[in-house]
Amino acid sequence: MASANPLPDSLRESPFLKACRREPTDVTPIWLMRQAGRYMPEYREVRSKVSFLELCKDPALATEVTVTAAERLGVDAAILFADILLILEPLGFDLEFAKGEGPVIHNPIREAKDVDRVRRLAEVEPLGYVMRAVSAIRSALRPSTPLIGFAGAPFTLACYAIEGGGSRHYEKAKSFMYRDQGAWDALMSILVDATALYLNAQAAAGAQVLQLFDSWVGTLGPDDYRRYVQPHMKRLFDKLDPNTPSIHFGTDTSTLLELQRDAGGDVIGLDWRVDLGDGWDRLGPSVAVQGNLDPAVLFAPFPEVERRARCILDRAAGRPGHIFNLGHGIMPHTPVDHVLRLVELVHEYSRTGRPERP
């Protein structure tokens, strides 16, 4: 297992990393999922010259958009610019980001025998461009700004691999899962091993925190999560570098929070469908939490944005271990000014106005 180098104090004592460790901070740290994205003119300028996949695979351009977003917004952490599906290519999947359609996998898994053609990721060199981007971003960031590496969680990756792209009902993935648990477990095992190797390599290259995006796991009920996902997630978290904090994020997971906590992760991401205070009470004091403003609120008049953000901070009530974020990624047409003002508000209010928990 890779082991992260000792951190300089400027990073170790950053509000974001202290919150990951559930230590008190003078200010609530904030970063935003998809903070480098189409809502920013600087990103659109870069993106106008290359395809999405080309941007992901060019370490210099990935560094530019990552660092520009973190510095422009004044957030407390940067997140690597990449995509959760990049890992599927070296596993043998034919991946395309089709204009207007999103990701498309041209050779999806549909039968149990198809799992036999999925390659195992023996080493990370096929994804070396990601590690080169991580290293370049770490060098370009301010010394006190942590860098988040990430990957897609195995369930979400498996759904893409079986559905062949986006889905509303996940009927192909679920029917595959229900029909042949042996084939499902074999696929998940391959994805766990590949994801652990990939994430540990990101940590070794210079990422201080690792986030797993289980974007589609909310389609499952608790019994299915417990049977088909939780054992694999436990094994994945057990394989990650213990010196690198991890964030376990999913959407529409209000019925799964305790199961996610037990699966692993130092920080549990909460989406906007759950009250942050209630969710944290359910999770208990052993984990930090991240979240959870509805991304759509950023389109509201700013006084409403402010009211909602203050409400979330009030519900956190000054407990050590809160990382402010959206409940999912920033939407493409979000007003940049609202994002900038949100970051300032969270910093200012958490310094001076948040109530302490009794």
Q: State yes or no: is 34 an active-site residue.
A: yes
Of the candidates 47, 72, 315, 354, the residue annotated as catalytic is 47
Q: Burial-class residue 21 by CB neighbours within 10 Å (0-12, 13-18, 19+).
A: middle
Catalytic residue among 38, 132, 235, 261: 38
- Among residues 22, 43, 72, 83, the one annotated as catalytic is 83
Of 160, 225, 228, 349, the active-site residue reads: 160
- Rounded Cα gap, residues 331 and 293, in angstroms: 13
C-beta pairs of 57-65 under 8 Å, 24+ apart in sequence: 57/129, 58/129, 59/129, 59/132, 59/133, 59/136, 60/136, 62/133, 62/136, 62/137, 63/133, 63/136, 63/137, 63/140, 65/36
Q: Identify the CA nearest to 246 among candidates 263, 266, 261.
A: 266
With both helix axes pointing from N to C terminus, report the angle between 181-205 and 154-163 in degrees, rounded to the nearest 10: 120
180 is catalytic: no
Helix or strand run (H / E) with residue 246 = strand 246-250
Catalytic status, residue 83: yes
Q: Counting every residue, how long is the chain?
A: 358
Query: Under a CB-based contact definition with an 8 Å cutoff, are residues 278 and 242 in contact?
Result: no
- The position carrying tokens 């940049």 is 336
Residue with tokens 């970051």: 343
Would residue 38 show up in a list of annotated catalytic residues for this protein? yes
Tell me the pairing of strands 209-214 and 288-290: unpaired
The Cα 20–Cα 29 span in angstroms is 10
| Catalytic center residues | 34, 38, 47, 83, 160
